[in-house]
């Protein structure tokens, strides 16, 4: 039986460590602070940001939720970022993506003070990460490393294949794995004979944004599968392609009309030695690492 890597349990462990760090900082008169900027009324973003704000409250981190209207301009957002950069009680600035079409997302992310860039998206932090220097790393890739380490999965000397080359997950995940002495291959939608490459992976990271893209024949028996994808399925035919015969999932789908599937086909997990489930795998780590980054930013800004 393949081993399930419980992201929720690992996230809880990290949050407990963060809470202990917050307590130590409080003894020195320091309270880490996170500003969360949520533009407009996108339901999924609202749920996600609320969970981040709640995590701050649970761990003793100060949070400020700022909610500009969906009609906000790039200039107004840049002015807001400038204000947050100047606020000393704010250690981390989180801008929930996606932003409305009229807002220049790249300009906005570039305007964040790199010392407060808790998402790790700023080019300065990306450069520091590549150079192996202290930096705020993107939360999901950092969470992947924590899952592997805390689950006792060897990284050094292993062949890690990352499917997906986004600036948010694929590229930084590859760089973090490289820093852990893995031999890393990055694949993407234009990679030829993709299955031949993925079958060589001791650690296979799926972050391509396509439901069930990694199939059983693409997986090396006994490999560790890290499934970053979160895809909502509403079509019954597509649901049947992934979960036919799964009574629990079928009951849930009949009740809700939707379910989540990752970038790995569920049948591929049976080939693996260990895997992260969807939901409950990589997802919980993203918020836990955001909390950890906020505390790291508070310490680094004060030279601690």
- The residues annotated as belonging to the active site are 52, 96, 119
CB–CB of 60/22 below 8 Å? yes
Alpha helices (H) in 160-276, listed in sequence order:
170-179, 194-198, 236-243, 247-256
Residue 123, token pair as written in the block? 């080019």
Give one DSSP letter per residue of 127-147, joined into a string: HHHHHT-S----HHHHHHHHH
Query: Which residues are within 8 A (CB) of 87 and not within 5 positions of it... i.e. 6 or more apart?
Result: 33, 35
C-alpha closest to that of 229 among 182, 186, 286, 272: 286
User: What's the CA gap between 257 and 284, in Å, rounded?
Assistant: 23
User: What's the CA gap between 7 and 56, in Å, rounded?
Assistant: 19
């Amino acid at each position: 039986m393949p081993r399930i890597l419980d992201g929720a349990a690992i996230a809880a462990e990290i949050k407990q460590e963060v809470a202990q760090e917050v307590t130590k900082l409080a003894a020195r008169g320091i309270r880490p602070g996170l500003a969360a900027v949520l533009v407009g009324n996108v339901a999924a973003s609202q749920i996600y940001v609320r969970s981040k704000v709640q995590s701050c409250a649970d761990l003793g981190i100060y949070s400020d939720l700022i909610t500009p209207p969906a009609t906000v301009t790039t200039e107004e957002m840049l002015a807001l970022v400038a204000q947050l950069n100047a606020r000393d009680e704010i250690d981390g600035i989180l801008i929930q993506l996606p932003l409305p079409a009229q807002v220049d997302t790249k300009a906005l992310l570039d305007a964040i003070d790199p010392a407060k860039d808790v998402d790790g998206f700023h080019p300065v932090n990306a450069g520091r990460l590549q150079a192996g220097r202290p930096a705020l790393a993107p939360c999901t890739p950092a969470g992947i490393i924590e899952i592997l380490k805390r689950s006792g999965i060897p990284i050094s000397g292993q062949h890690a294949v990352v499917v997906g080359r986004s600036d948010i997950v694929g590229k930084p995940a590859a760089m973090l794995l490289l820093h852990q002495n893995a031999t890393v291959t990055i694949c993407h939608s234009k990679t030829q004979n993709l299955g031949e490459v993925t079958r060589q992976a001791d650690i296979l990271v799926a972050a391509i944004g396509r439901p069930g893209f990694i199939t059983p024949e693409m997986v090396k028996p006994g490999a560790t599968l890290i499934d970053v994808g979160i895809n909502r399925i509403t079509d019954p035919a597509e649901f049947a392609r992934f979960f036919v015969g799964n009574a629990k999932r079928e009951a849930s789908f009949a009740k809700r009309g939707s379910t989540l599937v990752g970038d790995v086909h569920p049948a591929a997990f049976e080939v693996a030695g260990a895997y992260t489930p969807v939901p409950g795998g990589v997802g919980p780590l993203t918020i836990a690492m955001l909390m950890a980054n906020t505390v790291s930013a508070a310490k680094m800004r004060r030279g601690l």
